[in-house]
Structure 1
């Protein structure tokens, strides 16, 4: 883990802290506390996400590519209707819960990618969830 940080940081102390922060975040995602392990103390000075929940920090750092943002131009009529309705709800701050249903192969994941790219391109946070292992493995 430290080799990735060592490229940009010549200081062993900073590299150690960044690795400890990564380990802490991984342990937290598994419901564990780094303080349960005999590791050095973490100096939160090096934690970019200090005070921000990990999920929100990670989501706010996702950058959409131009290709992903352009996906909306290839939506079919049904996808476009869902896309427009969901974005209208987001843009008007009305909120809402949307369920997109369809058989396998109807390009639901394509719609999700277009929506996520649009929302991320507006510097908003969008979290994708999936009940299908296939979908979960291809979403950000």
Structure 2
């Protein structure tokens, strides 16, 4: 297990490119657990040729959820946002919102954080910065 923890990231360099190419996603971003799961998945695919699994080598198990997610292109696209870049964009954009836009923005965040559903209709003529919101 110590060997795995020391070297899984080096094994991930090629795996992220393989996942990106197989799903045809141009900008794929995976966090560490997803990336480690991808490496484990690829190792398991190789081991299956020899009737072995990652468990036979005391490696961390690959959860069924991870296995299904790696095969689901749409899910991978939705999760491929670079959160650090988005945080920078939020820090720049939110201060530029006018008071009405900020009220709607706060309502959306509150609903998301409280796991509530809200129906919000934003109406305005062209050039009223609806898209910016």
Pairwise TM-score range, normalised by the shorter structure: 0.3 to 0.5
Asked which structure has the greater CA Rg, the reply is 2
Bigger helix share: 2
TM-score (norm 1): 0.44
TM-score (norm 2): 0.46
